[in-house]
Amino acid sequence: MLNMKKMCIFACILAKNNLYYLMMYLEINIIENIKNAINVFTTLTVFTWIAAIAEILIIAFIIYKLLMWIKSTRAWILLRGLIVIGIFVLLAYLFNFEVILYIFRSFSYLAILALIIVFQDDLRSGLEHLGRQKVFAKLIPDIKLTKTISKESVQEIVEAAFAMGKVKTGALIVIEQNITLEECERTGIIINGEITRQLLINIFEKNTPLHDGAVLIVGDIVKAATCYLPLSHNHSISKDLGTRHRAALGISEISDSLTIVVSEETGNVSVCHTGKLMIMKDEREMLKLLMDLIYGHEENVAQDNSVLNTMKGWFK
């Protein structure tokens, strides 16, 4: 019993001495690191300081935008799970659990590949959202593949939307722009009819064969009806919005299309563009918005193309 007490006392003394030397070592290293950091900072030029600050701001901005994008998708729940796994792996590293670390290293590459496959839709929508930013749109102008809808057809759509809103007839109209919507077109019934107020109202009339689903408009043609649209995965959307509004937001998130929604419950007319839902007060407001989104964009594209043609002439 006495020997056991002596061994415990000896172990405590040894541990105390080791802890003292460890603290001394860490203190010396910290002081040396601080001195090295001060020497590095004093040798930096003004340009280097500006570059370093700019780099920090750019990284912070990218991280902020990335977190804001993740928060609006299913990846937000995944991120919380990854944080828990990261803490678990850190504890395994601190306690030197070799088997757990080996298993994690073995499956990490497969896990990354699995995440890319599972969240391919979110990644694609994120890249498309990045490509639609005005800065990149100026650098790489759009190539217009489809005919632009005429102002007369836009007027017909606006009148039809508010006429259906007055009697609370639900409607979902998608106007294709630069990004083709052939996948949605294949899910519907081909119409290929001229855009008129009467045709649109008749399509969405209750208890008719074509009223369920969306109408796709390409140029001045009602291309198809009863089209299925992808639903939005944005968790910040109000719970008051139904499936029709979620479908309108979903197609606007993955394309540059304009989507007109008429609520069957309230009769409100809304326009969806780039993942944003805007409720229209009257026909004049809606007509002005559509004109700005369609023809304002066309003018910008025409200006970009003229600049490119001028630059090409310089190098001939």
pLDDT digit string, tens, across residues 154-179: 999 999 999 999 999 999 999 998 88
Give me 124's structure tokens: 């694609």
Domain boundaries defined on the chain: 51-131, 151-307
Cα angle 165, 171, 175; round to 5 = 115
Number of Cα atoms under 13 Å in the Cβ half of residue 34: 6
The three-state (H, E, C) secondary structure of 207-244, written as one string: CCCCCCCEEEEECCEEEEEEECCCCCCCCCCCCCCCHH
CA angle 227, 175, 156 (to 5 degrees): 105
Identity of the highest mean pLDDT range in 46-55, 197-206, 293-302: 197-206
Q: Residues 205-233: pLDDT tens digits?
A: 888 888 888 999 998 899 999 999 988 87
Q: What is the pLDDT of residue 2?
A: 42
Taking only the tens place, the pLDDT of each residue in 72-101 is 666 666 777 778 888 888 888 888 888 878
Which residues have a Cβ under 8 Å from the Cβ of 187 and sit 6 or more positions away? Answer: 213, 226, 227, 228
Q: How many CB atoms lie within 10 A of CB 13?
A: 10
Helix (H, G, I), strand (E, B) or coil at 258: strand
277, 286 contact by CB (below 8 A): no
pLDDT of the residue at 159: 93
Average pLDDT over residues 232-251: 82
Concatenate the DSSP letters of all residues of 146-207 into one string. SPPPPHHHHHHHHHHHHHHHHTT--EEEEE--SS--HHHHHTSEEEEEE--HHHHHHHTSTT
- The structure's pTM equals 0.58
Q: What percent of the chain has pLDDT over 70?
A: 66
Q: Is the CATH number of domain 151-307 3.40.1700.10? A: yes
